[in-house]
Amino acid sequence: MTPSEDRRNLTRTLMAALVPALGCEVIPADEDRAPAANSGTWARVTITDTATTPSGRVSGARRSRVDVAVVIDVFARTNAAEQVASVDRIDQIAANAQDALSYASFILKDYVADPTGGTSLQGIVFRTLKPATLRQMPKMDGYSRRTVEADGLYHVVHGV
């Protein structure tokens, strides 16, 4: 697989896991779209490669460790009448995001070969090795915000 295919598999695997965990609309940062008009609460996920380190060969194929930073920004529309309810909702979603990314382990799915994600990539697992951090951010354009950050890694195998 190419690095872009590896990234596609990681992104889609994480999205498939985060949507039910967070219980709101989840949008990858590289998609140029806004949440649905009726979305009071939504999240944007950014995945950034921080390092790639060769880690040897397996059965003649090159193996590399890829370190990534995952950032989930959670947004909730706030107004004076619903302030308490929206703060409770954003805090719950942010806590769910923190739980989902703390000491996480997701078997990557092969969305390149199977767009439905029904096939797992044998032996390729995305992991976070410590708790995710949660920060309250300043309000922006009528939205309350929380940010959850986690560092993770996975290994990729490429042809000779």
Q: What is the mean pLDDT of residues 128-147?
A: 90
- Distance of alpha carbon 87 from alpha carbon 144, whole angstroms: 7
| Mean of the per-residue pLDDT values of the chain | 86
Q: How many CB atoms lie within 10 A of CB 13?
A: 23
Cα–Cα dist 48/69, whole Å: 5
What's the pLDDT at 77?
Answer: 82
For residue 142, name the pLDDT band (cuts at 50, 70, 90). Answer: confident
Domains in the chain and their CATH numbers?
3-30+40-49+67-152 (3.30.2000.20)
Long-range Cβ contacts of 56-61 (<8 Å, 24+ apart):
58/157, 60/160, 61/157, 61/158, 61/159, 61/160
Q: Is the pLDDT of residue 71 over 60?
A: yes
* pLDDT tens digits for range 115-135: 888 888 877 899 999 999 999
Position 37 pLDDT exceeds 80: no
| pLDDT over 80 (residue 95) | yes
CB 64 within 8 A of CB 53: yes
Q: What does the pLDDT average to over 137-144?
A: 84
Return the pLDDT at 7: 85
pTM of the model: 0.87
pLDDT tens for 102-119 read 999 999 998 888 888 888
